[in-house]
């Protein structure tokens, strides 16, 4: 059963959101989705970019002024 | 609502109230800020043209840095930490473009028998350079931003960078205080190396571009080795 | 009125120029253009950290100190700059402009948000990092802009030396970050 896990990275300094995302994704299984909460402008660019390069399905949604949710579906 | 690179997800609507929070439109505030910026510009212009020029240049840099999420810290940190070199390669491109343009400008003055501008930035190379650069590298990664990045992030609303700036100022004063010692101890015989002095104008520029090209290839291969696809 | 501003949000040029993040390479090209503008109009390349030393001196003077006997501030040019004051210092306005430009950019994209301090670790990291950057930049004659970007563009070997050691420092900093500040 594919699960959804939320990772709160609000208020974190560069590059913490990306490092935490990498570690969290390692713990998930293929088919699971990681939802990363971001409010850092660098992270809303480098987290999706990294995840796509690793071959995962990525969607980024702006949920508030300066706040984004990045949905990463683990593909491998 | 869909915007550019950000796609709406049907999953989002089933999530917590966060997704359904009403987003303010900050454009009106931006317009007020623009008017204040313009007002300051007018005031500076009335004081002295130079001040207005520097204000405009700063605005241009700040706007560009924020819009492109450009980060020199990331260019040096990411190859190690996340194996990504996209910003590294962008920085190298900036080095290449400016090398060519700066050399052209300098050559223009030289060939007309005038003093070459900007030579104050050709500085002595000594142990102090190495230690200082290393300290700076450590500091920028820990603080989450370099000099330009810190200023940019203050504009974005990060309290952490306000603290970083305060200590950056303190550190600068401390460094200025100790500078005399560093100069006496390490810099008196330290060489200033302006590449064209040793390799000629064309040779100097070519050497710079060659180093940049080699680093670019290394960066490209490094990322390719560590990921599926490459984003340019 | 609200409808008008909402209309702007959906406009293609708004999205292209103000909303969507620009590619890194676009940023690189634009920064290069402005670097060249700086050099051509002011006679010197872009610099950021030198200004902070002056800010420090002025703050120090505010609390009763004096830097006039320091070698670093001893040159006629340095003294003139200090005497002219904060409001008349061009470099100061360039640095303030960076803050203002970034603020405007963020607000225009409706992406401005105040990010408060999340933990004690962040305060220590910011303080320690700031001190290292400030001190390091003075003895190395500049920061990522003045010593690195401008140095390399100026065909000075010092730029490359700075780059190499800055890279080493970045690796050390990354290890420290992961170990102590995450």
- B7 pLDDT band (50/70/90 cuts)? very low
Q: Decide if pLDDT at B16 tops 50.
A: no
Average of pLDDT values for A47-69?
93
The pLDDT of residue C7 is: 84
Residues 6+ apart with CB under 8 A from A49: B84, B86, B231
C contacts of A20 (beta carbons < 8 Å): 182
The tally of CA atoms less than 13 A away on the side-chain side of residue B137 is 27
pTM: 0.93
Dump pLDDT digits (tens) for C159-175. Answer: 999 999 999 999 999 99
Dump pLDDT digits (tens) for C55-67. Answer: 999 999 999 999 9
Contact C76, C68 (CB under 8 A): no
Measured between CB atoms, does C99 come within 8 Å of chain A? no
- Interchain contact, C21 vs A45, CB within 8 Å: yes
- What is the C-alpha to C-alpha distance for residues B194 and B202, in angstroms, rounded to an integer? 13
Dump pLDDT digits (tens) for B142-196. Answer: 999 999 999 999 999 999 999 999 999 999 999 999 999 999 999 999 999 999 9
The pLDDT of residue C48 is: 97
**Mean pLDDT score across all residues of chain B:** 91
C contacts of A19 (beta carbons < 8 Å): 178, 182
Dump pLDDT digits (tens) for B61-118. Answer: 999 999 999 999 999 999 998 899 999 999 999 999 999 999 999 999 999 999 999 9
Question: Neighbouring chains of B at 3+ CB pairs within 8 Å?
Answer: A, C
Q: Decide if pLDDT at B1 tops 70.
A: no
The pLDDT of residue B9 is: 44
Reported ipTM: the value is 0.96
Q: Decide if pLDDT at B6 tops 90.
A: no
The pLDDT of residue B230 is: 53
* Strands across the sheet containing A4-8: A4-8, A33-38, A67-73, A57-64
The pLDDT of residue B17 is: 44
Weakly modelled stretches of chain C, pLDDT under 70? none
The pLDDT of residue B3 is: 34
**Shortest alpha-carbon distance between residue C68 and chain A (Å):** 38
| Chain C: residue whose CA lies nearest to A16 | C182
Contact B138, C171 (CB under 8 A): no
């Amino acid at each position: 059963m594919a699960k959804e896990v939320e990772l709160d990275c609000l208020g974190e300094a560069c590059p913490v959101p990306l490092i935490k995302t990498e570690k969290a994704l390692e713990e998930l299984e293929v088919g699971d989705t990681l939802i990363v909460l971001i409010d850092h402008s660098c992270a809303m660019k480098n987290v999706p970019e990294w995840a796509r390069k690793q071959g995962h399905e990525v969607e980024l949604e702006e949920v508030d002024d300066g706040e984004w949710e990045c949905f990463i579906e683990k593909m491998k | 609502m869909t915007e550019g690179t950000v796609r709406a997800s049907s999953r989002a609507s089933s999530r917590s109230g966060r997704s359904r929070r009403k987003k303010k439109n900050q454009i009106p505030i931006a317009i007020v800020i623009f008017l204040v910026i313009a007002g300051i510009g007018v005031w500076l212009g009335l004081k002295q043209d130079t001040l207005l020029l520097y204000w405009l240049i700063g605005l241009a840099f700040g706007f560009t840095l924020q819009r492109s999420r450009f980060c020199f810290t990331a260019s040096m940190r990411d190859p190690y930490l996340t194996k990504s070199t996209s910003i590294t390669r962008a920085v190298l491109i900036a080095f290449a473009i400016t090398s060519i343009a700066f050399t052209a400008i300098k050559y223009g003055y030289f060939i007309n028998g005038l003093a070459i501008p900007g030579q104050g930035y050709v500085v002595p190379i000594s142990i102090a350079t190495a230690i200082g650069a290393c300290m700076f590298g450590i500091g920028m990664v820990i603080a989450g931003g370099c000099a330009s990045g810190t200023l940019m992030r203050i504009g974005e609303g990060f309290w952490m960078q306000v603290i970083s700036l305060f200590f950056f100022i303190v550190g600068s004063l401390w460094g200025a205080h100790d500078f005399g010692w560093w100069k006496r101890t390490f810099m008196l015989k330290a060489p200033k190396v302006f590449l064209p002095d040793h390799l000629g104008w064309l040779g100097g520029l070519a050497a710079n571009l060659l180093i940049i090209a080699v680093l670019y290839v290394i960066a490209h291969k490094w990322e390719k080795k560590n990921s599926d696809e490459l984003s340019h | 009125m609200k409808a008008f501003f909402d209309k702007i949000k959906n406009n293609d040029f708004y999205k292209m120029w103000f909303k969507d993040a620009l590619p890194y390479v676009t940023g690189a090209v634009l920064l290069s253009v402005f670097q060249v503008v700086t050099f051509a109009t002011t006679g010197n390349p872009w610099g950021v950290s030198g200004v902070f030393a002056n800010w420090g001196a002025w703050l120090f003077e505010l609390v009763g100190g004096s830097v006039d006997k320091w070698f670093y501030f001893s040159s006629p040019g340095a003294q003139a700059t200090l005497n002219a004051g904060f409001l008349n210092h061009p470099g100061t306005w360039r640095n303030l402009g960076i803050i203002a430009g970034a603020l405007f950019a963020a607000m225009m994209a409706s992406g401005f948000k105040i990010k408060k301090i999340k933990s004690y670790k962040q305060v220590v990291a910011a303080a320690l990092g700031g001190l290292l950057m400030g001190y390091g930049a003075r003895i190395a004659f500049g920061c990522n802009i003045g010593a690195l970007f401008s140095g390399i563009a100026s065909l000075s070997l010092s730029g490359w030396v700075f780059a190499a050691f800055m890279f080493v420092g970045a690796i050390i900093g990354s290890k420290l970050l992961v170990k102590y500040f995450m």
